[in-house]
Each structure stands twice: as structure tokens, then as C-alpha cells.
Structure 1
Amino acid sequence: MGAGHSHGSHRRAEPAPVGAGPRRVLLALLGLVAVATVVGLVALWPDSSALDDVGSRADFAGPGVTFPTAEVTSLDGRALEATVLEGTDQGDTVALELPPQVAESGLTTGDTVLLRRIPGGGDVPTSWSWFGTERTDALLWLAVAFVVVVLLVAWHRGLFAMAGLAISAVLILGFLLPGLLTGGPALLLGLVCSSAILYVVLYTTHGFSIRTSAALAGTLVGIAITAALGVVTVQATRLSGVGEGGGLLQTYAVDLDFQGLLTCAVMIAGLGVLNDVTITQTSAVWEIRAASPTMSRRRLLASGMRIGRDHIASTIYTIAFAYTGTALTLLLVLRLYELPLLELLSTEEITAEVVRTLVTSIGLVLAVPVTTAIAVALTPPRRSDA
């Protein structure tokens, strides 16, 4: 690699190695956060006995109730007949009435369904009712299609991304959710889980490099901003955090901090979009420096921010539309009642979605200049044109 370039050369200018000083500062800070994350995982890891105790309080169906699979043999409007495929009633034909929405969902003969069997006793016969449609095969094919498409288009990057996603699922299912159910500090659980996910996802997908480390630093700052703003906003709006399913959780998970749960949900919701923005910003700054090694840091920052502003605009649309799609059924119900806007904002569900959207967006917007500045500070100094 040459130290400069000539006007006759068509090779793209490669940036010189990053200075040791900024690199050491960044890696030292990321190392401290990594140590704090590991300590948090160990200290906050939920007690299995406490989780079992919470689970023992919740009885999903009642004693003796089972959910055997059955094959639909006859369907006439809302009247269904099905042959039981497992359990003590295997081979028996049962008849029951379908909920209206199920009868209109396209169910047909030959489909596999789940039934609720409530055992009888004495003169009380066994009763059957609808529980759900068996969708495992369809979901499995969809998952296979997802994996194949990702591998065909993204190759090893896609494979590493899916590996990071799998580890993230383990952290959420094995650490975050049990910790919340057993009454752990929701804010700390969210911060530790988010930090662990970011370290895994970014380094697994994008590799160990100073560029990835810069993006990680910017994302961590964005998550910290989102968490702080979430705490303040949830308190200011007097949100209880008890949304759909909250009544059941209040009954069984008596130690759950619902306001902290809402803040934690805002942080987790912002992980993906923050990661996307910071990686893009860091890559943009590196590519600009490689293409223009003589550009000053001030101009480099300005160029990076021009890209960042476009990314901010498109990503905010993404966040808003994603939350709108999630809450579309609720919005339809509220629109049906034709309530004024101020009355809509007084409902827990609508305000919670507004808070999620705005807090995540603010964290995203502020992460862009922070990440761009970090990336610019870590790029090589400008070269004088020979």
C-alpha cells in the first residue's frame, strides 16, 4: 500500500491505519461496557425456583383439560365435525360450533385443528370446544423460505445475522422475560439485555473491526438516550404500562414493574432500527474517507450528516408505519367510536404507541450525529495530495 496516490493511478485510495489513540479510547470504553454487561447478566440472571413459583400460580386451562389435535371431516357453516387424532379419545368423532371469525377464515376438510377437551365426571359428559388451527407446517415452510432467501442473497453475512438473531432470542427468552416475571429491575434488565444483544449481533454479523466498534458505540449511546427519555416520558404521561394481557400478569406476576416494562419494551423495539442506522452511517463515513483521503474532518462530518439526514427521514417513516400496522385493529375500533383526537390520546393503548414511536424516533435521530462524529474521529487524518 502506498502512502499517497498519483493522478495516473485508477486504484481507489485506501485509508491509512487508524491512529492508536482514538482506537484505544474507543476499545477501552467498549471493554468497560462489555464487562458491565457480563456482570449484569450474572447478577440479574433470574432464579429458576422463583420462575417456577410464578409459573405454578398460573393455570392456563384447569385440571385435566387437554388440547388434542383433530382432523376436520365435515364443515357446514359454523358446524364442524372432526376426528380426534390423539389421546384417550383417539378415533372418536366430535361435533362443535365454530366462532364466526374462524368459520370465515378459509378452514376446510382435511385441516388439522386443536380442540379443548374438558373431562367430565359422574353424570357430566366430556365437553369439547374450539381452541385453534394447527399452523405449524405453514409457519415452518415460511421460515425455510426466509432462511433460503437470506442465504441466497446475503451469503455468509445472512448466516451470521441469523446466528446473531438466534442468540438474541435466547437472551430474550432465557434472561429478559424470566427476569421481568420474577420482579427484577425492568430498566436494568432492558439495558443489560439490549447491550448483550448489540455486542452479539454487530460483531457476529459485521465482524470485529474498528468500523463495527464505532457503530456499536453509537448504538449504545442511542439506547441509553432512549432508555432515559423513556423513563421520563412514561412518568410524565402517567402511563401504567398495563396493556393487553396486563390483567393476567397483574394476577400472577405480582412483582412485575409495569412502567419499567413499558420502558424496556421501547428499548427493545428500537434495537433493530438503531443498529441499521449506525452501521450505515459508519460505513458511509469510511467509504467517503476512502474515496476522498484529502477531505478535511469538518467536510467529512458534513458529508456523513447529509447521508444521515436522508436515512433519518426514511427510518422515521419506517418506525411510524410499523407501529401503525401493529395497532391497526385498535385504531379501527377507536375510529368506529369517532372519538376526538384528545380523547384518543387519553387512552392507555394509543398513548403507549405514541410514546413508543416518539421516544424511539428521538433516540434514532440523536444517534445519527453521535455515530457520525465517532466514525469521523476514528478515520485516518486527511492526506495532502501529492
Structure 2
Amino acid sequence: MTTPPPTPQAPPPPPSPPEDRGRAPGHEHSHHHGPATPGSRRLRTVIAAVLVPFAAAVVAGLVLLWPGAPGAHERSGVGFDRQTVSGKVTGIEHVGCNDAAGGGGAGAGGGGNGPQDPSAGGTGSSASGGTGASGPDAGAGAESGAGAGEHAAGVCEQATVEVTEGKDKGHRYPELIRPDASRRLHAGQRVVLAYAPDAPRALQYSVTDVGRTPPMVLLAAVFALVVVAVGRLRGLMALVALAVSFLVLTFFILPAILEGSNPLLVAVVGASAIMLIALYLCHGLSARTSVAVLGTLTSLLLIGVLGSLFIGWAALTGNTDDNTGLIHGLYPHIDMSGLLLAGVLIGSLGVLDDVTVTQTSAVWELHQADPGMTRRALYRAGLRIGRDHIASVVNTLVLAYAGAALPLLLLFSLARSDVGAVATSELVGEEIVRTLVGSIGLVASVPVTTALATLVVSADRVPHPPSSGVGGVPPRPEVPGPVSAGRLLGGGGRRRKR
């Protein structure tokens, strides 16, 4: 009996290309991993029709509101509006507080007020009787000088301070540091000196702050290195955007408000410029970024309307602490309530950028993961992500404002004031309005941005290739199986003899 030849097998089908592996038959969508652009000409036109005039209006606002060269300003010597020079502590010695207060007017007057209260009106020079201060702070300075004799007992520190810049460079004077001072000085420490040219020679200089340049520069360098190390090129662009934001704030927003322009209008123009530059610089010129810009713009508009309404309704003046009182005293033409609203807008912008960019990216990634997802399903999925995000962001915003106002909250707690009275006081009411209005804008940005992103990304659907199957369903590919030699050779094969 002859053994039949082995039945040859059909060659295996060629391997599918890498981009087709794991894809079900009939699903021929292409996945674009770069920033998608709207496939609909109509949507592209709508986006351009909104953003181009808006960007043009921002540029026009910058040109019209740009402040001129600052005029000559005579310093009042009050608060931060005073001349300062740098100095250095050359030595520290312990002296009796009674001897220092009675024997050296320069030490007691010049140093008693400086280290303890850097924001006091007349600094150390005003302690000699208020000669270096004007306005309401002059009395405080004189009162501080008069109270120097209260420390009759105890040991004080007397620092020898050297002026290291200016026309009196090299001049040394004694600075008294009382036992209850919140800041202690040490030899070799860099300090900031307030200079009162109209005061007596012995009282012209006083320590108002300490030098912090080295730790601040080191911290900024560490921050920049961490951002670039983690974010790479995008982190570098974020640092550039941060620098641009600082420049806009320093050279446009603050000088324009001091010049007398409407604070709200200046804040809207400045915040819009920061938003456009930062978002497009960090995330590129794409439909995804444009959707985030539109979502941020819509939320800022809502915050502005609500803030204006409730600040006016609650009769908030914006003049509630020493700093705002000093600004109002030096620049009475500034609208303080408008300044409050401007602060609400600028303070909310950074968190808004985070929410809108995150939502837009989430919708884009969901679409790339499942291009066949319907518009409604895509919106719902993006909204679920946004709810998780907004739950933590709102809490973050509230805690940020609470942390900034923590000393104030401690004062109310010590006074055991009624919660309702505290909440409705103007000082706390400002923070409540600031927090709640900003939070409403954040919450509203989630559905608004998600809806905009869904509309734009849904228009970027790649059409299916035409199918040749019945009813539009592509035919199922045949899987080759074992083939007999006869079929392979055309059906003639050799038969076994019986």
C-alpha cells in the first residue's frame, strides 16, 4: 500500500499592518494623535468670527488704555510710598532697654518701630514725634515713640546698621530691637532701610524689612527647573507665558489703574491679553485651544456680570484694610469697588484656564479613543470628568481665599463674634463674594466648555470607506483553511488504489 503524499496547507495570510491590528472588521476609522482641527468649514468660520474680533478688540484696548510715562511723584513717606535703600547689620549688642530709651534718641526712635511693624506710616523716623509721617499714620508713629518708655525693664538688642547705597553709603547708626519685636536681626544680615530726608540726621534711617533676594532667587530657579524637567518644551512655554503675564500686570494693568483708567475695563483688557497669549503660547494655535479660549471668555463674562451685581447690591466699597485705605488716601480718584471687581476677575482667570483646558483635552481624548461615539454620549462622558474636576477645584479656591484671610479669621475667632455678624461684615463679605462669584464661574465653565468642545470635535469625523456588502455592511472576509492537494492543483489529484 502506497502512502499518500502529505496534504499541502495554504500559505498563511499576510500579517496586518501595525495600524490595523486589534481593529474589528468594518471599523476603518483613522486615529489622529495630533491636535484635531474642525472638519466643518462652518464651525471653523464661527470660531474665527468670534475670536478674531475679540483679539482685535483686546489689541485696541491695550493701545487706548496703555499708560503714559509716569509723572514726577513726591513720596508721602506713608506705608510703601517712601524712599528705601539697602543696608547691612554689622553688629549686635545687648543693652538695657531703660538706658537705650533714655540715653539715645536715635536708637529708640529709629529702631523701635522698624522691625516690628514695617507697614507703619513713619517708620522709625516718625517715632521721634511724627516728623517723618503725614496723615493718619503720623499719630501712630508718635504713639509708638511715646510708648518706648514702657520697656523700662528688660534687655534689648541694639544693632549697628550700615547704609550700603545712596549718598550716605557707609553711614552707620544704632537700631534698637525691643524684646517684644516679632523680627530679630543678626550680624551680617541684609536689611531694607526707610529713608526720611526731612527728619533729623539721627532719625533719617530705620530698618523696615530684611533682604530676601537669595532665597527668593533660589526658589524661583528650583521652580523653573522642576517645570522644565517635567513639562519639557511645554513647561518652557509655560514659563514664558508666566513672564508675559507678569509683564502685562506690571507695565499695563497697575500703571493704567494708577493713572485713573476704569479698573474694571483695564482688568478685562489685561486679563484677556494674558489669556490669549498664555493659552496659545502653551497649547498651540489649534481648534482645541480656541475652544478653551471661548470657554474661558464665557466664564469671565459671567463672573464679571455676577460680581458687578452683587458688589453693588451688597454695598461693598473695596476699602476695608490699611492697604486699600492707603491707596484711597494717596489716589482718591481710583474707583475702589471697581478695583475689587478687577481683583475678582484676575484672581479667577488662572483657575479658569486650568478647568477649560482640561475639559477640552478630555473631550478630544475621548473622541480619539472612540471616534464612533455619538455627540450626546461624548458630552455626557466629558461632563462626568468635569464634575470630578470641579469638586476639587471649588474646594481649592475656597481654601486659598481662607488661607489668605487666616489672620483675620483668627481675630474674629478670638472675639467670639456671631457667625452671621462676621459673614455679613464688609471685610469678610468681600472674601465671600470673591469666592462664590469665582466658584460659580468655574462651575459654569465645565458644561459650557464641554458643549463647545463636543460640537467642534464631532465635526471632525472621518467618513467611512464605501462598502460592497449588502445593506452597507462590508462582506465578512473568508478565513482560508486546509486545502487538499486536488483542489490546490485544480482537482486532479492521485487516488489510492484499492
Normalised to the residue count of structure 2, the TM-score between the two structures is 0.70
Q: Is the 8 A contact 1:218 1:374 kept in 2?
A: yes
Q: In the alignment, which of 188, 209, 214 is matched to residue 110 of structure 1? A: 188
Equivalent residue letter for 1:363: G
Q: Evaluate the alpha carbon distance shift between residue 242 and residue 80 of structure 1 in structure 2; reply closer, same or farther with a 3 A threshold.
A: same
Give 1:337 shift.
1.0
1:331 — aligned with what? 409
Q: Work out whether 1:211 is the aligned partner of 2:288.
A: yes
Deviations along 1:330-362, whole A, 9 cap, x unmatched? 111121111111211232221111111000000
Q: Work out whether 1:227 is the aligned partner of 2:304.
A: yes
Q: Work out whether 1:283 is the aligned partner of 2:304.
A: no
Greater RCO (CA < 8 Å, at least 6 residues apart): 1
Quote the Cα distance in structure 2 between the aligned partners of 1:132 and 1:218: 43
Q: Is the 8 A contact 2:76 2:82 kept in 1?
A: no
Give 1:63 shift.
12
Q: Is the 8 A contact 2:397 2:439 kept in 1?
A: yes
More helix by share: 1
Q: Work out whether 1:42 is the aligned partner of 2:60.
A: no
Q: Is the 8 A contact 1:37 1:195 kept in 2?
A: yes
Quote the Cα distance in structure 2 between the aligned partners of 1:155 and 1:75: 51
Q: In the alignment, which of 319, 322, 328 is matched to residue 250 of structure 1? A: 328
Alignment of 1:194-209 (within 5 A): 194-209=271-286
2:31 — aligned with what? 13
Give % identity. 37
Q: Is the 8 A contact 1:187 1:260 kept in 2?
A: yes
Deviations along 1:90-112, whole A, 9 cap, x unmatched? 445422213667x5546422211
Quote the Cα distance in structure 2 between the aligned partners of 1:25 and 1:83: 65
SS of structure 1 residue aligned to 2:187? coil
1:82 — aligned with what? 161
Q: Work out whether 1:126 is the aligned partner of 2:202.
A: yes
Q: Is the 8 A contact 2:379 2:450 kept in 1?
A: yes
Give 1:78 shift.
3.8
Deviations along 1:265-297, whole A, 9 cap, x unmatched? 000000100000000000000000000111100
Q: Evaluate the alpha carbon distance shift between residue 120 and residue 63 of structure 1 in structure 2; reply closer, same or farther with a 3 A threshold.
A: farther
Quote the Cα distance in structure 1 between the aligned partners of 2:81 and 2:357: 51
The structure with the larger Rg is 2
Q: Is the 8 A contact 2:242 2:278 kept in 1?
A: yes
1:69 — aligned with what? 87
Q: How many residues align?
A: 380
Q: Work out whether 1:188 is the aligned partner of 2:205.
A: no
Normalised to the residue count of structure 1, the TM-score between the two structures is 0.89
Q: Is the 8 A contact 2:29 2:371 kept in 1?
A: no
Q: Is the 8 A contact 1:97 1:129 kept in 2?
A: no
1:321 — aligned with what? 399
Q: Work out whether 1:349 is the aligned partner of 2:366.
A: no
Quote the Cα distance in structure 2 between the aligned partners of 1:185 and 1:327: 27
Q: Is the 8 A contact 2:86 2:164 kept in 1?
A: yes
SS of structure 2 residue aligned to 1:234? helix
Equivalent residue letter for 2:61: G
Q: Is the 8 A contact 2:77 2:83 kept in 1?
A: no
CA-atom RMSD, angstroms?
A: 3.0
Q: Work out whether 1:239 is the aligned partner of 2:257.
A: no
2:71 — aligned with what? 52
Structure 1 residue runs of 5 or longer lacking an equivalent are: none
SS of structure 2 residue aligned to 1:131? strand
1:274 — aligned with what? 352
Equivalent residue letter for 2:87: T
Structure 2 residue runs of 5 or longer lacking an equivalent are: 1-17, 95-155, 465-472, 475-498
1:26 — aligned with what? 47
SS of structure 1 residue aligned to 2:430? helix
Q: Is the 8 A contact 1:219 1:274 kept in 2?
A: yes
